[in-house]
């Protein structure tokens, strides 16, 4: 990469970058962390105020979007949320790279979507270097509680991811997948009676 490439450029390109000592990235994280703090401390019944702050946090949000408190993310602007999105309590999105959700996505409590990872090599890891890989979730996907989705994963349309799963590899459309590591256990057949 050229000398004019920033740590943010490296982050979004999936390259190793320094998130811990880069002033620009630190400021961006503090900005959204303050917004998340504010969001998490609004009365749950004050839906209008919650929604206004959520719009300031997220990079792209459709009208029908509910994220229960508390909610935490790293940057916010890398999160793309489709129509009719619902996330239960304690959602964490480490969005150092794009996290894209399709329409009609439902997420159980205590779930996390982590684009960030660290090198296996201890020397690089100890320098504070990390990488971030995109996560993409299709339409009509339901996640049970306590699901973790790791960097670089794509989950297709019409999937159900069982509670407690750790998704470390792509899941094809029309699948029920569970476990640690998460594996497809059944294909979802298209209903002909509708």
Domains of the chain: 7-158 (2.160.10.10)
Q: How confident is the model at residue 63 (pLDDT cuts 50, 70, 90)?
A: confident
Omega cis (within 30) before 70: yes
Token pair, residue 50, equals: 């919650």
Give this prediction's pTM: 0.94
Catalytically active residues, by annotation: 118
pLDDT beyond 70 at 2: no
* Mean pLDDT, residues 146-165: 98
pLDDT class of 193 with cuts at 50, 70, 90? low
Asked if residue 10 has pLDDT above 70, the reply is yes
β-pairing verdict for 175-178 and 183-187: antiparallel
pLDDT of residue 3: 72
Asked if the model's pLDDT at residue 12 lies above 70, the reply is yes
Query: Residue 57: exposed, middle, or buried by beta-carbon count in 10 A (0-12, 13-18, 19+)?
Result: buried
Look at residues 184, 185, 110, 181 and name the one whose alpha carbon lies nearest to residue 145: 110
Please provide the average confidence, as pLDDT, over all residues in the chain: 94
Instruction: Report, as an integer, the average pLDDT of 135-140.
Output: 98
Amino acid 61: pLDDT? 82
Rounded to whole angstroms, the Cα distance separating 95 from 71 reads 13
Asked whether 19 and 117 are in contact (CB, 8 A), the reply is no
What pLDDT digit, counting tens, does each position of 76-134 carry? Answer: 999 999 999 999 999 999 999 999 999 999 999 999 999 999 999 999 999 989 999 99
Give the residue carrying structure tokens 């990488």: 131
């Amino acid at each position: 990469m050229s000398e004019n490439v920033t740590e943010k450029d490296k982050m979004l390109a999936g390259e190793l970058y320094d998130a811990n000592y880069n002033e620009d990235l630190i400021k961006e994280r503090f900005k959204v962390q303050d917004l998340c703090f504010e969001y998490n401390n609004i009365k749950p019944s004050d839906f209008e105020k919650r929604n206004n702050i959520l719009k300031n946090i997220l990079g792209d949000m459709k009208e029908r979007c509910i994220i229960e408190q508390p909610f935490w993310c790293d940057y916010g602007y890398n999160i793309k949320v489709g129509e009719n999105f619902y996330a239960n309590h304690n959602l964490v999105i480490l969005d150092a790279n794009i996290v894209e959700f399709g329409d009609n996505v439902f997420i159980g409590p205590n779930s996390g979507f982590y684009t960030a990872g660290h090198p296996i090599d201890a020397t690089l890891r100890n320098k504070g270097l990390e990488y971030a890989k995109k996560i993409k979730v299709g339409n009509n996907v339901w996640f049970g509680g306590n699901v973790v989705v790791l960097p670089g994963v794509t989950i297709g349309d019409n999937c159900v991811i069982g509670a407690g799963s750790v998704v470390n590899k792509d899941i094809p459309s029309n699948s029920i997948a569970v476990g640690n590591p998460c594996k497809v256990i059944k294909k979802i057949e298209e209903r002909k009676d509708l």
